[in-house]
Structure 1
């Protein structure tokens, strides 16, 4: 019996959720009645390439004093990869061009593709709450994604898409010059840090990203499904707040 597209998409989402917690394989005890093991993510999406085996080229030499507007103009109505031919809107990024803190996710989802702005769906609303709890307004920070166009069905980005798009993201970070970066979720963290380490092993401490302290943490979409993991994200954000000299919010009552 063949497997329909909806079942495959559900399996992909389930495996991505497992990856967020650092689970890289499914124990045999979790196999189906026919004792067929669940395929690893690489088997589900063979065109996806792990960050560590998909090195991102350095961006074209950025001119001194390059601004976000300069980068957006350079990006143009991008069709450098297949995603440019399928998107509704290119999602560049929003926020303060001189932000002290930058949040970077994986890629736009359906809501973001429709609106042309990153993190505007349910996960985006949770991210906004996290930002506000840290003592910032959403427009005080900068928010973007590694990719600027939505992959079909929210699949993992492909190697050629990363190579074409990630350099623009790095140029954005350099143009802003933040004091800290937060990588949201497995894909963003692994891509920015060029590693295959699971997010569960990466989070909880700072890493170096081109001379900028980077804190990996769980993606807000993961927290929507597993709200009990919010405490771990808040622990990560408290370290970011301390780095930025932000006072911890006082409890009311």
Structure 2
């Protein structure tokens, strides 16, 4: 893409195109908000704070204050009950197809109601390697498949560099529904979706798991370390059935598009993956 700066100022058309390519194509509110009007509105100190009580008021017996009305309850958010239901449904799925149907029927995650499609998986579920990202973007939401946009094109090239493709790899996301405007999934949303991706890994039973990006690595490898500290070092993912799967955390393709100098780090990680697959036979 050409530079978005022209004579020291951003070109509005190219700036909008940049945001569209990044997936920021939706407003986060139904109605526009005039922030300038809010900033210009004068603020008045409460009159009671500046007035002194009169003598008459001081001599009048105090009356019981009328209780202030309670604020309206906040909108309901996904809670532990929904996460528990997700765990129950995931455990009931005996095959990947059953799991997909359970997820399609599940209404406990608010992201489902703003997404266009469930993005379950792509590739070969019997492959030796499984790759897991964080959440679908705009293109993935439209097609119902993970990693089909610019990040997916780069991922395809990374796989091809070690002799793999979508027929010899299985690809999914922690979150199967696109967050509005490509925002970061909330902890509530992640916890609700956790049982589904954990069961998906368990049913696919790959020889090697690859976590793409920090959020996927932190969730599936049970760590708080950042991705630049994690990447390139073999970890393990433990399934509910007690199976230990070697896992390689690496950089997300979207990160590499923004930081192409770090592609060499991802290349080293993928060489490690290739060597481990050869070792496992």
TM-score in same-fold range (> 0.5) = yes
More contact order relative to length (CA 8 Å, sep ≥ 6):
1
1:72-151 equivalences in 2 (<5 Å)? 72-151=100-179
Report whether the alignment pairs 1:219 with 2:215. Answer: no
Any stretches of 5+ residues in structure 1 without a counterpart?
Answer: 1-5, 14-55, 247-253
Task: Pick the structure with greater CA Rg.
Answer: 2
Q: Secondary structure at the match of 1:87?
A: coil
**TM-score, scaled to structure 2:** 0.65
Distance 2:138 2:97 in 1: 25
Superposition RMSD in Å: 2.1
Q: Is the 8 A contact 1:192 1:209 kept in 2?
A: yes
Name the structure 2 match of 1:38: none
Distance 2:132 2:223 in 1: 16
Aligned counterpart in structure 2 of residue 184 of structure 1, from 183, 200, 212: 212
Cα distance per residue 1:198-223 (max 9 Å; x no partner): 10110111111011011111100111
Report whether the alignment pairs 1:235 with 2:268. Answer: yes
Distance 2:99 2:92 in 1: 10
Q: Secondary structure at the match of 1:108?
A: coil
Q: Secondary structure at the match of 1:140?
A: coil
Name the structure 1 match of 2:91: 62
Shift of 1:167: 0.9
Q: Is the 8 A contact 2:122 2:166 kept in 1?
A: no
Name the structure 1 match of 2:187: 159
Equivalent residues, number: 193
Any stretches of 5+ residues in structure 2 without a counterpart?
Answer: 1-14, 23-82, 239-243
Distance 2:168 2:105 in 1: 27
1:198-213 equivalences in 2 (<5 Å)? 198-210=226-238, 211-213=244-246
Shift of 1:146: 0.1
Shift of 1:195: 2.0
